Structure formats: structure tokens, C-alpha cells
Amino acid sequence: MTSFSDFGLADTLNRALTDAGYETPTPIQTQAIPDLLKGRDLLGIAQTGTGKTAAFALPILQRLAPGRPAQPRRVRALILSPTRELATQIAESFKLYARYMNHMSVAVVFGGVGHRPQEDRLKRGVDILVATPGRLMDHMAAGMVSLESTEIFVLDEADQMLDMGFVQPVRRIVKTLPKARQSLFFSATMPKEIGQLAGEMLFNPVTVSVAPTGTTVERVEQRVIHVETAAKRRLLLDVIVAEKPERALIFTRTKHGADRVVRQLGQDGVEAAAIHGNKSQAQREKALASFKAGSTPILVATDIAARGIDVTGVSHVINYDLPNIPESYVHRIGRTARAGASGIAISFCAEDERPFLKDIEKITRQKIPAEDRRGTIALSEKTDSSERGERPSGKRPQPRGRRPVAAAPASAEQQRRDAMPAAKARQPGAAKPSHAAHGKPGQAKAPQRPAHRDTGASEETLGRVGFLAGRDGMKRKSATDDRGSRNGR
């Protein structure tokens, strides 16, 4: 199956795919669409970036097309998403694919915005509803919507649902669905609880395992810089000045960390925006829009907020903090390898993050080229309290050895002048700057690993996703403090 026309999709869908520039189905589309069109349940081990949205959206649209439009307060297909961003993107994809279909209604509901417009929309009935769990439960409790006649149910990013404390709400929602339905379940990883949830929800499912992990990791040029925690601020500025990123996504472990980095960059003359769970919906949308447009080319994000963000043209991912869950590293650097592009990922590693680096190198089966900048960069005058409070949970700060510092290579003012116009002025398509500034000469890319014959995923990826290697019960609790404020209400 190498072409969309082989699926036997409606002309309306094929036309929309041509408009969208889709020529060849991705592996998950090739493997999932035929069975989904037959009405089979599906367990998809895949993450955002694999084309999974179209893999479920196209068969859903095809199967719903001949039926009658949704009755008032009823939903024909429900897609549950852990975050507002992902929910919005999924709804946009459905609208794109359904653009030539008559009477196919798509709506999205999530927390953080008023209930009223969503209630008005739900009252009219929705063919395809994309929702976050908390807000959907509010609407169900208020009698605005019922799932009693829902035909197709999709649970997306199930492992993220678990991380965000949504598993019980999901179970309650699933209980209200009819027993006779088609169910689809997607997760990037398969910890034990998620496997259990899938078992409860699915009937004789087809299993498709496609994670771009290995291939993504291979496409991204990666570097680690060993550095003192207190030198990270200055190092970040150095990196921005040297790399002149077209579009950089900077990751911190916590929301406070993200705000602090934005604040410090601002003080250093570099404009940046933050995106995390404490921001209002409007603030998040604004930050994301200006990042997409390239007007604020530096976005600082936490793992959860960045999940599902689909922005092409991210030239650099900078891990200001290393994630304590190694899979998050793969998700993070995958932001810079969208749609077949390659990119650069630079990770700052402080002494107390060394164990995280070890875990990352273990799951990605590579040694990331490293550079030791300890003792060479000006340490911040003081480590503020929020920084002290953000150490990886359960880890004591290690005593820092070489505190004294060499003089900075350029004045802050010089760096400010260098950084801003460069970051802002670079146009897409302009010649890329040299990326060698911080790398050691002769640094090689991670070695290529053999891809799995059927899925295109590396063997390591398939082993990692749990089913094959039985790797479960990973350290799922993230030090990220996004949980709680992101309950979707």
C-alpha cells in the first residue's frame, strides 16, 4: 500500500489530502487505515509526529459520512486528548480532511475558557467532538451532552493522560459509552497502567507499533554541554548568540523554570515567550502563534505544554534542564525533526543531571557528543530560590567543585546586540549559521541503527515501548509541576 488512493477513501477525502500535500501514507497510516475502515478496534503505539491523527481521522470521516448527522446533545465520534493544544490541532486536522464533505460537524471543548459557547455548540449535536476529559465531564454533568449514541471513541496520548492524572476521569467517560462501538487507543509508551486501561477499553484490537523515536534521534544533531547549574543562564545566551536559531524551543523541567528563563533572557535582551499550564489559554495561543509566525523565535516550554505542539521549522531544541524521564528527551528533540527535517538539540547537563543523561543514552542507545564547559562560564551571582526548589525530586544538590570562573568572552551588551537582530532577522531559507561554535571538532552524528522491517521503527524503539521488552513502571512521575492546574476544567 503506497498511495492514498489504495485505501478506497471517498473522493472528498482524497481531494482534501491532495490539497494538504499528502502524497504517501506514513507507516501508521498504511498499517491502521485498512483495519479501521473495517471497523476494527486499534491499539496504536505511536506518538505525535507519526501522522497518527490522519490515521484515525480519515477512517472516522469515511465511516461517518453515510450516516445521519448528530442529534441534539449527541456525539457520533469522540476523541479525548490530554491537552488543549493537541485537542485544537486534532480538530483542525479533522476540519482540513472534511473540508469537501457536506454536513460533517467538528467541535472542540477544553478547559480554561468559558462554558457557554461550548454548551451552545453541544446542544446542537456534534458529529466529531474533540475534548479534554475534565471539561467534557463538566458538560456531561450539566446535561449538555450525552455519549449514549457515540459510535467511535478515540483515546489519544493515553500515557500523557496518566501523567496528568486523567485516568479515572477517562474511565468514567468510557463507562457512559455504548458497548457496541469502535475504540481506538493511542499511546507513545506502554506503562502497566496504560496496558490495563487499553485492555478494558478495546475488543480484539489490531496492534500497530510505530514510534519515530529511533529515526528522529538519528536525524537530530545532538550535543551535551556539561556545565554548572549557575552557569546555565550565561551558557544559554552564548548558545543563542553562536547558533542564531531560526526557531528555538527551550525546555525546562518546571513552569517556574520556564518563567525564570524567559525573564532572564529578557534581562539579557533576548525576547522569548513561555508556554505552560499556568498560562491562560489566550496567553498560550498568543505565544504559540507568534512562535509559529517567527515573530518570537524563542519559546520556553515544559514537557507537558509542548506535547502535541506541531510547529515545523524548529531549528533548535535546547534542553535547559535534562528531563528525568528519558522518553521525554526523545519527545523534546523530535520537535526539531518534523516532517522529515533535521535539527539541532543542545542539552545542558549539570552535575546532578548526570544520571538522567545516562538514562537517555541508554534508551536511545547512543553516546551523545559532549563538551565540558565547567569552570569556563560566568556563574550567575545568585541562584534564586525557584531554581533551588527545582532540583530533580529525590536528588540532593551535589556540591559544585570548581566555582571560580573564567572571564566571559564578550560583554553582556555585546551579546545582547549580537543576539537579537540575528535571531529576529533570519528569514526562512536564509543560509544557516555554522553550528560548530560549541561542538568539538570532528563530532560525529549518532550512528544509524537498523530499522524494523515492518514498522520503520528501530528495534530499540519497539523494545522500548513496553510490549516487547516488558519495560513498564518507568519513572512516570515527572518533577514537572504542570499537573493539577491542567485538569482541563
Task: Please give the torsion angle defined by the CA atoms of residues 256, 259, 261 and 264, in that order, rounded to the nearest 10 degrees.
Answer: -120
Query: Interacting stretch for ligand AMP, rule CB under 6 A, among 50-58, 290-298, 317-325, 432-440?
Result: 50-58
The Cα-based distances of 390 to 195, 258, 379, 403, 417 in angstroms read 31, 11, 18, 20, 31
Task: Select 308 or 323, whichever has its Cβ closest to ligand AMP.
Answer: 308
Tell me: does residue 212 bind ligand AMP (CB under 6 A): no
Task: Select 24 or 267, whichever has its Cβ closest to ligand AMP.
Answer: 24
Residues 320-339, interacting with ligand AMP (CB under 6 A) = 339
Task: Select 96 or 412, whichever has its Cβ closest to ligand AMP.
Answer: 96
**Minimum distance, C-beta of residue 58 to ligand AMP, in the bound complex (Å):** 9
Tell me: does residue 49 bind ligand AMP (CB under 6 A): yes
**Minimum distance, C-beta of residue 204 to ligand AMP, in the bound complex (Å):** 25
CB 475 within 8 A of CB 362: no
d(CA 91, CA 103): 15
Encoded one letter per residue, x for contact with ligand AMP by CB under 6 A and - for no contact, window 295-314 reads ---------------x----
| From 12, 14, 30, 48, residue interacting with ligand AMP (rule: CB under 6 A) | 48
**Minimum distance, C-beta of residue 454 to ligand AMP, in the bound complex (Å):** 18
**Minimum distance, C-beta of residue 282 to ligand AMP, in the bound complex (Å):** 24
Query: Interacting stretch for ligand AMP, rule CB under 6 A, among 45-53, 226-234, 386-394, 395-403?
Result: 45-53
State the cell numbers at 451: 530499522
Query: Interacting stretch for ligand AMP, rule CB under 6 A, among 51-59, 97-105, 248-256, 259-267?
Result: 51-59
Tell me: does residue 343 bind ligand AMP (CB under 6 A): no
Tell me: does residue 245 bind ligand AMP (CB under 6 A): no
**Minimum distance, C-beta of residue 81 to ligand AMP, in the bound complex (Å):** 11
**Minimum distance, C-beta of residue 340 to ligand AMP, in the bound complex (Å):** 9
| From 9, 14, 16, 26, residue interacting with ligand AMP (rule: CB under 6 A) | 26
Task: Select 26 or 347, whichever has its Cβ closest to ligand AMP.
Answer: 26
Tell me: does residue 53 bind ligand AMP (CB under 6 A): yes
Query: Interacting stretch for ligand AMP, rule CB under 6 A, among 24-32, 62-70, 236-244, 285-293?
Result: 24-32
CB 162 within 8 A of CB 133: no
Task: Select 16 or 144, whichever has its Cβ closest to ligand AMP.
Answer: 16
Q: At what angle do helices 255-267 and 232-243 cross, to 10 degrees?
A: 60
Tell me: does residue 51 bind ligand AMP (CB under 6 A): yes
| From 9, 16, 54, 274, residue interacting with ligand AMP (rule: CB under 6 A) | 54
**Minimum distance, C-beta of residue 21 to ligand AMP, in the bound complex (Å):** 6
d(CA 71, CA 149): 9
| From 40, 52, 219, 255, residue interacting with ligand AMP (rule: CB under 6 A) | 52
Q: Is 441 exposed, middle or buried (0-12, 13-18, 19+ CB in 10 A)?
A: exposed
Q: How far is CA 20 from the centre of its chain?
A: 22
Q: How many residues bind ligand AMP (CB under 6 A)?
A: 14
**Minimum distance, C-beta of residue 147 to ligand AMP, in the bound complex (Å):** 24
**Minimum distance, C-beta of residue 52 to ligand AMP, in the bound complex (Å):** 5
| From 12, 14, 30, 50, residue interacting with ligand AMP (rule: CB under 6 A) | 50
Tell me: does residue 100 bind ligand AMP (CB under 6 A): no
State the cell numbers at 154: 478515540
d(CA 193, CA 196): 5
Task: Select 53 or 324, whichever has its Cβ closest to ligand AMP.
Answer: 53
Task: Select 51 or 488, whichever has its Cβ closest to ligand AMP.
Answer: 51
Q: Which residues pair with 109 in a beta bridge?
A: 131
Query: Interacting stretch for ligand AMP, rule CB under 6 A, among 18-26, 158-166, 364-372, 394-402?
Result: 18-26
Task: Select 145 or 337, whichever has its Cβ closest to ligand AMP.
Answer: 337
**Minimum distance, C-beta of residue 56 to ligand AMP, in the bound complex (Å):** 9
CA-derived radius of gyration, the chain: 23
Binding site for ligand AMP (CB under 6 A): 22, 24-26, 29, 48-54, 310, 339
